Structure 1
């Protein structure tokens, strides 16, 4: 069952609402106006209307509750407690734009929209992870746990929500541990591996996928989580006709000192007390056309930013998809890893 099965337009009739309630076999529907969630209507609301008003030609907007119960995505794990407290059997889960992203039912079932993105995802999982030493002395970076599962499984699970089922892992350091992990867990997606014999950088490893990917794909590092709508990122890339779209995060950095600018004569030109700078930075996630793989030299080490610069100089269209600072979680260094862990634990509460 899809989320759409629970939706009814506010201009629909009461009879149509009754028929839909029977069809979904639940006691609540979610009312939309111009495709936006605005209200809820239950079998009890209809029953009370009939008993009070008597006539059957009412519209949904005459009966619905325009102060409905709901939770935002980040509070979803509290749904059961919230439903018990408010005596409701189905609860819409909204994103920050107030679109319904799923419906949680009393029996713990979660109804989500059917996602059909189905874009290959390449994960660079072969690095030594030297910045995360001593963790990476024991485990490869992709298997470092963030909560109850490793970072790479968090990444894959998030893509899987959007319908992505094909994952290509470029592996090197402690690669057999990574393969063993995915052989042991239950999963609803396919994982293939490209073995680096020598380190090929964040771009060179893509040459190992020649003949395996012939469509637009997503490339991501194995130490980041992007909390954005991946369908929107992909759609933007296709609409713009980009060869590569780089996902970039806004960053604000406050200098904890007074900054002095000196002129050519050695005198103070300007003084700024603890200035704050804003800029966009590369998150390590990209949407990429297959031409990149086809034209790479085999077994040649190169960073993906160098690949971008090469095509930019050649006049190819390189785009940027901006996201907020809070939408980018990075565990490339130990202090950042702890921030990610705390953030994910907080979101789970």
Structure 2
């Protein structure tokens, strides 16, 4: 089976992490985020994946080459962003399968533990044009709301409606019949959510919903990115791509964690990173060469490459860009983001986005 992996987004909600690195390549539980998706795709029977790239397109092939995690890889770039449907149509020119074959579509910012082979089986048994993975959430108004009939056939696709008729939402993994992809306009900006799926339903085409309440997370925000990385480390979602066993923390080669430090909650400590004695790091992501000094506390945060936290400083849900420095005594919280290279001098002042 072949797949198309949508990785063209700019990841603006994750800045400054995505200034120099596309969101799908951000280190997540010790490896690029996409490594987990490639490994899961391979386990589901995918043999070849076409990357639909746009933002910093050259970095994807440099990261993975022609073969990774058991899957052959190809790359198709969008010169201008074409939306989800346009990206699928553009990437499809690199597919090699027949018109009736299933093509798996994956989004490059979704962590999911759902049963892909079961989704493909439903698709083939129903003779569907498209089969969507659907999951259930408490607040469906934030997502695409997708009602189905008693037989599992999708009856409507209501993108981010304020009055949802069901708690089933679009989970961002699709199985297309290859010929159905060819119905998408070529070289045009097209949204599958707002245009392709509603048009297929209106035409009478069979669009199925595979409803499965497995682990699912959109990692498009800093909070969700940290949670996804920690969940992988803790083993809440299994991944053969993770370079270590599940546990309270993942410490990569060359990292140094003092015996007198507390590091847990699914924290990743990157290569060359240092956590000194008396420091506490809970549920966070420390990238390569990050530094947490004695007595500092870091919770639910990301320290980018070479970022430094001084003695006694406190970070609570904070993003530090590459090389950012937080001097001793600072207290940062509330989703604050410190841009690359910024240095905050020693202080006893509390900084918050709520201030």
The two structures have a TM-score, normalised by structure 1, of 0.57
CA apart distance, 1:217? 0.6
Contact 2:8 2:55 in 1 (8 A): yes
Distance 1:288 1:184 in 2: 24
Match of 1:221 in 2: 107
Q: Which has the higher contact order (CA 8 A, sep 6+)?
A: 1
Match of 2:225 in 1: 337
Does 2:21 align with 1:136?
A: no
Q: Which runs of 5+ in 2 are unaligned?
A: 142-164, 236-245, 248-355
Aligned with 2:93 (options 210, 216, 228): 210
SS state of the match for residue 341, structure 1? helix
Q: What root-mean-square deviation, in Å, do the aligned CA atoms of Structure 1 and Structure 2 show?
A: 2.1
Match of 1:44 in 2: none
Max radius of gyration: which structure?
1
CA apart distance, 1:163? 2.6
Match of 2:280 in 1: none
CA apart distance, 1:296? 2.2
User: How many pairs were matched up?
Assistant: 209
Aligned with 2:196 (options 307, 326, 331): 307
Match of 2:73 in 1: 191
SS state of the match for residue 19, structure 2? helix
CA apart distance, 1:254? 11
CA apart distance, 1:224? 0.6
**Higher share of residues assigned helix:** 1
The two structures have a TM-score, normalised by structure 2, of 0.56
SS state of the match for residue 196, structure 2? helix
Contact 1:247 1:323 in 2 (8 A): yes
Any residues of structure 2 matched to 1:173-188 within 5 Å, and which? 173-183=55-65, 187-188=69-70
Distance 2:205 2:111 in 1: 28
Distance 1:189 1:203 in 2: 24
SS state of the match for residue 137, structure 2? strand
Q: Which runs of 5+ in 1 are unaligned?
A: 1-118, 256-276
Structure 1 residue ranges, 4+ long, deviating more than 3 angstroms after superposition: 184-187
Aligned with 2:182 (options 294, 298, 320): 294
CA apart distance, 1:186? 5.5
Contact 1:237 1:245 in 2 (8 A): yes
